[in-house]
Amino acid sequence: MAPAADDPALETLFLPLVSGAVAWPRDGGGTLFLRARAGAALDAARGQVLVCEQSFKPWADALAASGQRAVDAEAGRFERVLLLAPRQRMESRALLARAVAQAAPGGVVVACAANNEGARSMQADLAQLAGPLHSLSKRHCRVCWTAPLDAAVDQALLAQWLALDAPRPIEDGRFLSRPGLFAWDRIDAASALLASCLPPDLAGRCADLGAGFGYLSSEVLARCPAVTALDLYEAEARALALARHNLAAARVPVGFHWHDVTTGLPETYDAIVSNPPFHQGRADDPGLGLGFIAAAQGALRPGGRLWLVANRHLPYEAALSKGFARVHTVREGAGFKVIEAIKESGK
């Protein structure tokens, strides 16, 4: 799940700084980059004090490999705040508000989104919050930036939007979730289907790959009494923090791992469950699920069991048949399929 080699939104974000329409901070003043991604466009920031924040593990790892360490930067004020706006509207508004709140007096916020990821809405929201904007478009993306921030900022709206992505109860208070996460306000149908199929004899040490806010893990513990330990692997730190809360009263030892599953797993397991991601942006990317399958195959002990749910059209069976001794479809419904794959004993 490495960042794309060609990143139009990242390139477009830096256009105002490259062109001189927005100046870099004076005297080495700081620049905060929210939802930062690595890429060639970051060359424009050489020599600048750039504070990067990225909660998605593969992209945080890519930043580290490029020499930019991702940190938690919720405190502090900065002369420039850059952000790559997310598609989910409430999450985007909260991030825009945070960018404005963390801009120093007279600072400038620069925001970018792809046209098909809500660029027009993002621009309208930032203008509503901070006043008139400048904008540029390139490669089906839009970048906009504020004037030096002053009294034009709508302080009441700022306070309202800062709270938009706060954790909140869902499913009658059973879980905490927050906007921007996968299926954030409900139990997604695929995970619910997999949970309904889980066998009560699933036993031993178990892992949940792509655990999100912890729904499937909670179902494993409720439905499979012979499970004795559980590890959650999740690439999005915002989701993993909620999973810690949602499984705080678990009946077995639980581990929480901010981890890119496609790089492999550090431990071995008797059973693995997964509803793997299959999108990179808007496009289907079966390679993500294949990466999860390879990681599970490598981490299961002999005779170990993988329980997987996927969209019915995704071509996972061939990969499963190569890595497992037995593969069968347990159930199909609502466009999904639940598969059990059992690793050969003695290997």
pLDDT(1) > 80: no
* Alpha carbons 93 and 221: distance in angstroms, whole number: 36
CB 210 within 8 A of CB 233: yes
pLDDT digits (tens, 9 = 90+) for 60-76: 999 999 999 899 888 89
Amino acid at 306: L
Give me 80's structure tokens. Answer: 């420039």
Name beta bridge partners: 340.
Answer: 307, 328
Cα 144 to the chain's mean position, in Å? 24
> Count of CB atoms within 10 A of residue 301's CB?
15
Q: Which residues contact 213 (CB under 8 A, 6 or more apart)?
A: 175, 176, 177, 181, 184, 239, 242, 243, 246
CB 218 within 8 A of CB 187: no
Q: Which residue in this structure is represented by tokens 């690595």?
A: 38
Q: Which residue in this structure is represented by tokens 């309202």?
A: 160
pLDDT at residue 323, as a whole number: 85
pLDDT at residue 75, as a whole number: 86
CB 13 within 8 A of CB 84: yes
* Alpha carbons 124 and 246: distance in angstroms, whole number: 35
**Pairing state between β 30-34 and 78-84:** parallel
Average pLDDT, the chain: 94
pLDDT at residue 206, as a whole number: 98
pLDDT digits (tens, 9 = 90+) for 248-296: 999 999 999 999 999 999 999 999 999 998 755 555 567 889 999 999 9
Q: What is the gyration radius of the CA atoms in the chain, in angstroms? A: 22
Rounding to the nearest 10 degrees, give the CA dihedral for residues 78, 83, 87, 91: -10
pLDDT at residue 151, as a whole number: 81
pLDDT at residue 280, as a whole number: 57
